[in-house]
Each structure stands twice: as C-alpha cells, then as structure tokens.
Amino acid sequence: MAKGVPIQGRNPSGNAQIANVTAEGDLKVQLSGTIMELYGATIDERPPANSVPVGATFMAVKTQEVWQSDGTDWVVM
C-alpha cells in the first residue's frame, strides 16, 4: 500500500473525521449529479426531449448536428 497524506473531512454534524478508505488505501467516493451529454449511434436512439433535464444535449455518432432539449422538444444547435 502506498503511503500518503491522511484525508480528513467533516461529518453532517460538522465534526472532523478521517475519510472512508479501502484496505488498499483507495479513497471511497460517491459521485452525484445529472449527465447532460447524451450520445447514440443514430438519431433513433435519442430519448424523448421531456425525459431528460432541460439543457441536456444529444449527438449521434458521425453527424455534425447537436440537439438540445428545451424540456418539450429537441432543438438543433
């Protein structure tokens, strides 16, 4: 296991605590958020515009067009 600097964080109460690491020393993390870039092989793989967040973009492979969802329709950018 490589030696490094211990990482401290704060728990929900605001108290300092050592970060959660694996036995190998890898830092355990959890990502959150929304993926705003979508890709597909063809335009037929594009999801309905109202099923993705407003502002999400879609690009089909081997095309030059990018579409952006306005929450109702896909708009060519």
C-alpha 27/C-alpha 12 separation (Å) is 19
Which H or E element spans position 41? Answer: none
Residue-wise pLDDT for 14-32, tens only, equals 887 777 777 787 877 878 8
Query: How much is the pTM?
Result: 0.57
Tally of residues, the chain: 77
Residue-wise pLDDT for 1-11, tens only, equals 456 666 677 77
List the structure tokens of 21. Answer: 């690491």
C-alpha 2/C-alpha 73 separation (Å) is 51
